[in-house]
Chains A and B, each alone.
Chain A
Amino acid sequence: MTDAGTLREDRPLDALEHPSAPDLLAKFDPLIAERQALLDTGVRDPFAIVMEKVLSPTEAIIGGKHTILLGTYNYMGMTFDPDVVAAGKRALDEFGAGTTGSRVLNGTYQGHRECEDALKDFYGMDHAIVFSTGYQANLGMISTLAGKGDYIILDADSHASIYDGCWLGNAEIVRFRHNSVEDLDKRLGRLPKEAGKLVVLEGVYSMLGDIAPLKEMVAVAKKHGAMILCDEAHGMGFFGAHGRGVFEEAGVEDDVDFVVGTFSKSVGTVGGFCVSNHPKFEVLRLVCRPYVFTASLPPSVVATAATSIRKLMHAGDKRERLWANSRRLHQGLRDLGFTLGTKSAESAIIAVILSDQTQAVGMWQALLELGLYVNMARPPATPAGTYLLRCSLCAEHRDEQVGQIIDMFAQAGRAVGCIA
């Protein structure tokens, strides 16, 4: 056997395949066909955008074209903040490109500690633990907190990372109807009194941009003796007096046991975290698998995150601009006749609801050709099987950019026929 692994030209390729071996990718054939049919109509692939250059938090070059970014979750525009960038460069020089290690072995540097200190100060809490991504923060916290025999009670519209955190653990999983306080109350009431319970909530739900009635939900969860984890991924930076999130604005800071968040939105880099006042919180560093069994964030990333978090403590101007931008865009799109995910601007996410995939992709492409990037979202990521274009505002969007955005929506909407 000398030429093992090379194809002999006199042998047809098919003969090399074992006839009875099932192709594990065959289950995706319907999706491949659906996608191909869509691309065959001549539209660009909404899930394969490449940014050739990023000019600022609100502008990039896509396909050679100057494009306004309206789908980045870069709410506070911290990605190009000079202090943040300088801190990252300094850490890169002083600590190198990466840690090559787990947080519990060789992967905790001074910068990781400083980043956790910044979070403790930002949230006014006793403990903070930094994960490598926001996804892993939910995966780790949920799967570790709720064990065998415990119950996780989650909103039906929860983010994929919350669902995946449930699947990774051994707890019993119970869903309640999206944002329904009554449904949550009913379900908690049917669970065994003595069982451990973790209610998982989100401040802002990222598909429609609606916020949770946290005051009522937290009261109900406490009434039934549940612990509460609140994901503030889309609320950090601009809800509440200190920008801590919707839970702060709702006045339930003392009753939420765990707050999970991310660095990949308002903070402007990548990473995830959980903060808490629970006296036994630090033990999680030893038992939380998505924390232990992965490499820690690079020194430059934790340095940018720590600097950004500290600046966000005093970002009142940015908060005001972000809210002003969000309200103006919401009003502008409503005036044009678009159907939106919420009646008013509840967060910095504004979802434009469209009738089907063809209309959504048509609209998305028309906007891109005019020089505007938004996110396209489709089932199963979206609630109630809707197709939507999701816009997220940035504090750094200038007034004239918001005006341009509304004009582009008007043009594209009329061209595609979703508004009159």
Chain B
Amino acid sequence: MTNRDDTFAKVTALIEPFNKKGIALTDAVRFAQDLEWDSLTVMDFVAAVEDEFDIIITMNMQAEIETIGQLVDAVEKLKA
């Protein structure tokens, strides 16, 4: 398992509690359109990801992240 796979697994595990529609989670899945998350869910989820990896994902960065793949890449970069 590469580092990215490991991050992907951890991120998707954090998504599952909020994955109410039971969507198959891939890099291409979009938070707003596919998972249909509102801003409050995003807030809770981002806080959970930040705590899991001990990083900060600023709101400026969050505005650029639309898909799971983009989030995983961002987390990889922030951990480095």
Find B56's partner among A156, A166, A190, A380 (CB 8 Å cutoff): A190
The digit string for A376-388, where 1 denotes a CB below 8 A from any CB of B, is 0000100011000
Any B CB within 8 A of the CB of A185: no
What residues of A have a CB within 8 angstroms of the CB of B55 in the complex? 190
Any A CB within 8 A of the CB of B40: yes
What residues of A have a CB within 8 angstroms of the CB of B39 in the complex? 380
Within 8 A of B (CB), among A357-409: 380, 384-385
A174 and B38 contact, CB distance less than 8 A: no
Q: Report the minimal beta-carbon distance from A187 to chain B, rounded to whole angstroms.
A: 6
Q: Report the minimal beta-carbon distance from B38 to chain A, rounded to whole angstroms.
A: 7
Contacts A177-B47, A190-B54; A385 near B40 (Cβ below 8 A):
yes
What residues of A have a CB within 8 angstroms of the CB of B38 in the complex? 385
Any A CB within 8 A of the CB of B23: no
Q: Report the minimal beta-carbon distance from A103 to chain B, rounded to whole angstroms.
A: 31
B58 and A172 contact, CB distance less than 8 A: yes
In the bound assembly, the distance between CA atoms of A172 and B60 in angstroms comes to 6
What residues of A have a CB within 8 angstroms of the CB of B51 in the complex? 186
What residues of A have a CB within 8 angstroms of the CB of B56 in the complex? 174, 187, 190-191
A183 and B47 contact, CB distance less than 8 A: yes
Any A CB within 8 A of the CB of B59: yes
In the bound assembly, the distance between CA atoms of A27 and B33 in angstroms comes to 15
Within 8 A of A (CB), among B7-49: 38-40, 43, 47
B59 and A166 contact, CB distance less than 8 A: yes
In the bound assembly, the distance between CA atoms of A187 and B58 in angstroms comes to 10
Q: Report the minimal beta-carbon distance from A379 to chain B, rounded to whole angstroms.
A: 8
Among B55, B56, B59, B60, chain A packs the most CB atoms within 10 A around the CB of B56
Any B CB within 8 A of the CB of A113: no
Find A174's partner among B40, B54, B58 (CB 8 Å cutoff): B58
Any B CB within 8 A of the CB of A175: yes
Q: Report the minimal beta-carbon distance from B73 to chain A, rounded to whole angstroms.
A: 19
For residue A180, which residue of chain B has the nearest CB? B47
Q: Report the minimal beta-carbon distance from B27 to chain A, rounded to whole angstroms.
A: 26
Q: Report the minimal beta-carbon distance from A173 to chain B, rounded to whole angstroms.
A: 4
In the bound assembly, the distance between CA atoms of A186 and B43 in angstroms comes to 16
Any A CB within 8 A of the CB of B50: yes
Contacts A172-B60, A173-B60, A187-B56; A156 near B50 (Cβ below 8 A):
no
The digit string for A184-211, where 1 denotes a CB below 8 A from any CB of B, is 0011001100000000000000000000
In the bound assembly, the distance between CA atoms of A191 and B78 in angstroms comes to 12
A173 and B58 contact, CB distance less than 8 A: yes
What residues of B have a CB within 8 angstroms of the CB of A174 in the complex? 56, 58-59
For residue B78, which residue of chain A has the nearest CB? A190
In the bound assembly, the distance between CA atoms of A260 and B78 in angstroms comes to 34
Q: Report the minimal beta-carbon distance from A224 to chain B, rounded to whole angstroms.
A: 13
B59 and A175 contact, CB distance less than 8 A: yes
A-B contact pairs, 17 of them (CB 8 A): A156-B43, A166-B59, A173-B58, A174-B58, A174-B59, A175-B43, A175-B47, A175-B59, A183-B47, A187-B56, A190-B50, A190-B54, A190-B56, A191-B56, A380-B39, A384-B40, A385-B40
Q: A177-B47, A385-B40 are in contact. List 12 more A-B contacts (CB 8 A).
A: A166-B59, A172-B60, A173-B60, A174-B58, A174-B59, A175-B59, A186-B51, A187-B50, A187-B56, A191-B56, A380-B39, A384-B40
Question: 3 closest Cβ contacts across the A-B interface?
Answer: A173-B59, A172-B58, A190-B56
**B binding-site residues for A, Cβ under 8 Å:** 38-40, 43, 47, 50-51, 54-56, 58-60
